[in-house]
Structure 1
């Protein structure tokens, strides 16, 4: 009865332990999600995209008419004088009155209430082109954000695979160190029993020391890859328990899926060309005049009476008498403004934009050529990696059998330590070739996904 309970408890503990271990594994998908959410460059370009969308809204609102209201209440004199006057920088006062033959200091309150509407209602498509330019800028920022996410996914996946390879190599070198330690113990026992010469013990110690150094170097490389992965994830450095099982199988191989119209990087290059074209179109609209509609409603109040011209005592110091509205005027107008020298200046700006667009087109063509070459190379690398993937099991099995044979022969005194050490070298080389071949298949698939512009190709 108690034995059954203990067995059940042990089974539950084993299952729970495996579940906890599985929960601690940091998968590739988790790494990608963490990087997209945390990496600073991606968050910055997301903010730039949001800002450009707000600028589109601003460009649409710029077409609305200007609607100004103004109110002022003043206190001062109204002495006037005949003569020309120009208010540079708006520094002249608006006081006005009769040009009397003497100066006086009669002062009263005055007020001005003003409503003004000014609307450039037609400018040969200038407002529409400004909106289109803002939309093109927002599209470029969005494409830049998307291609940054795509590029970063590729970087994170590559770093993750490098860490997987480093952990597998560390594991293989750990096994090699353990084998060297086992050989050292066997040699020590045989030396103590005077079955072999003592020099074998020194050689076994040296081989163990070499295996230990190699393992330490592999551990150092693993920690370096983990540090690089943490930087790409935008999180503090820690020890990652990565998934090393999925690389031991052949992935789902895609067909020919290079679609240039959906490639994030090429789409970003196209958006740059589109923005330059829209900027050139917008600049051309300044060749033409702008038609404006204006409307003004003005109300004034004054503490000076209508008889002040003949009677300088006809004024009041009362605040309400000065600010109370007494006279109103309105004005409605239609006008056209055309700077005839503007086309002469803008033509060079348009030419510069057109040349910029041409340069961006050349950059797009170069990027397209490079991506096509990378895609062709990825096919070759994938086929070579698959060929090595199929060969390494044969190599590992042969090396394992040879090592087992030499170990048995050595324990029975039928071979020497040099042959056993050589077999160990062949085995560790086969294991490292296996580890690298496993990861190379997935790295070749990642290269294909990067060239195709479709991260879904890298399906694990």
Structure 2
């Protein structure tokens, strides 16, 4: 099954569509990106841990043991302490004939069952911890999912603006190349000074460098976007019509309660509080219902000879069970001194809860700042986008006039190259201005915690 999933993921990562819309990019990243799949695995882990905790309370614990030993059976009167199982007990009375090195085979088998009848609130506390752990894992997944969607959307916009900037530089290069061809021909015919041809050649080289640099940046951003999508070839085109032709409607309220990052910290605090309560309950005892069956065999006879000595048989017949017993009843064990240890553990967990609370407060302040910053960026971007067409129209007019003046011999090549540079800058500013408005809306909705409106307007 795991191999099939990995093969499926690899196949998806290799099949990048030629034209990639924003919705397709986000859906693809959600399905394939490793960090999101890791958070899903953490949810499954927390759910399995909850089942394990529930089974520990709902089902009886059943254990079985069996042993076959070849040993002596010397005994003395007195008391010994098992010392965590390291002391080996010997059953039976003191031998009449003293201590001997006679060894026999013996057997012992036990089937023991126990069930927690009363746990004084420990079960409920552990169930609360398990539930809080699952809620925290789900909130962490939603946080990772949301933040990745925002990152993909922002990377898509950046890739788009660099892709369009490359197209502008290509257009600028073609314009300057045509300009150079005309000047070079006229200069060769003696109609223009040779310096004009040299300056035009320099402008062609400059435009070529700008084109190459623009292509490099655009390709780098494509690679970054492909990485966020889970891998695959970056040879795709983005859909730019919506972002370049229209502006989004900005009608967002400053409500941050739905922010997945804040929800994650809230669930983290809840989990820590539940864990504190479980620690406080952990020192309490449990009343156990226990039942057992056991049987034993021995190579030592139950009867003595005429001298009062027990009969020993070193054969394997001592492994045969001879005595059978059963037991049922209630037991409890309370380590009362654990209260001092658990008290300090609970205090430590309380300090962690306070730490999480302060981290939550810090994140809330940061989110508030992000919303205010997004408002400022949108207002500024909107003013810029209003001026961008004016700048572009003026630059186009200046270029047309400079070209006409140069063709008429009324201006120098310097004036014409300056107008070309001005037009190129205006064309770049035009696409950046539109893109910045969309990015400001994305940043605002990211702080609010829901980018659905952005995605709907981008369709």
Give the alignment's TM-score, normalised by structure 2: 0.87
Aligned equivalent of 1:98? 93
Deviations 1:4-50 (A, max 9, x none): xxxxxxxxxxxxxxxxxx96112222322332233332222222222
- CA drift of 1:314 comes to 4.2
Contact 1:250–1:441 (CA under 8 A) maintained in structure 2: no
d(CA) in 2 for partners of 1:441, 1:352: 47
**Cross-structure match for 2:79:** 84
Paired residues for 1:355-394 under 5 Å: 355-394=351-390
Query: What is the root-mean-square deviation in Å for CA atoms of aligned residues?
Result: 2.5
Q: Distance in 1 between matches of 2:338 and 2:409?
A: 100
Aligned equivalent of 1:281? 277
Deviation, structure 1 residue 380: 2.8
Match of 2:65 among 67, 70, 84: 70
Q: Distance in 1 between matches of 2:443 and 2:397?
A: 35
Is 1:173 the equivalent of 2:196? no
Q: How many angstroms does 1:182 deviate by?
A: 1.2
2:18 pairs with 1:28: no
1:235 aligns with 2:248: no
Instruction: List aligned pairs for 1:216-235, cutoff 5 A.
Output: 216-235=212-231
Counterpart contact for 2:17–2:236, Cα < 8 Å: no
SS in 2 for 1:458: helix
Among 446, 449, 452, the alignment partner of 1:456 is 452
Query: Within 5 A, what are the aligned runs for 1:395-414?
Result: 395-414=391-410
Return the alpha-carbon distance in structure 2 between the equivalents of residues 98 and 204 of structure 1: 116
Deviation at residue 340 of structure 1 after TM alignment: 2.6
1:144-223 alignment to 2 at 5 Å? Answer: 144-223=140-219
Further displaced range: 282-291 or 90-99: 90-99
The aligned residue for residue 58 of structure 1 is: 52
Q: Distance in 2 between matches of 1:314 and 1:458?
A: 92
Of 178-187 and 343-352, more deviation after overlay is shown by 343-352
Contact residue 28 and residue 160 of structure 1 kept, 8 A: yes
* SS of structure 1 residue aligned to 2:238: coil
Q: Structure 1 CA distance, aligned partners of 2:109 and 2:220?
A: 73
Q: Judging changes above 3 Å, is the alpha-carbon distance between structure 1 residues 94 and 289 closer, same or farther for their aligned structure 2 residues?
A: closer
Q: Aligned match of 1:422 in 404, 413, 418?
A: 418
Structure 1 position 128 matched with structure 2 position 128: no
Which runs of 5 or more structure 2 residues have no equivalent in the other structure?
1-15
After TM superposition, the score normalised by the length of structure 1 is: 0.87
Q: Does 1:247 align with 2:243?
A: yes
Distance of 2:344 and 2:82 partners within structure 1: 35
1:315-359 per-residue CA deviation (whole Å, 9 max, x = no partner) reads 55564x534443222223323333232222222221222222122
What SS is found at the alignment partner of 2:282?
A: helix
Deviations 1:403-428 (Å, cap 9, x if unpaired)? 22332333343433222222212211
Tell me, what secondary structure is at the counterpart of 1:98? coil
Q: How many residues align?
A: 438
User: Is the CA contact (8 Å cut-off) linking 1:445 and 1:457 kept in structure 2?
Assistant: no
How far residue 106 of structure 1 moved from its aligned partner, in angstroms, is 4.8
> Which residue matches 2:268?
272
> Residue 41 of structure 1 corresponds to which residue in structure 2?
35
1:281 shift after superposition: 0.5
Q: Deviations over 1:201-251 (max 9, x none)?
A: 111112222222222221222122223223323315633322222211335
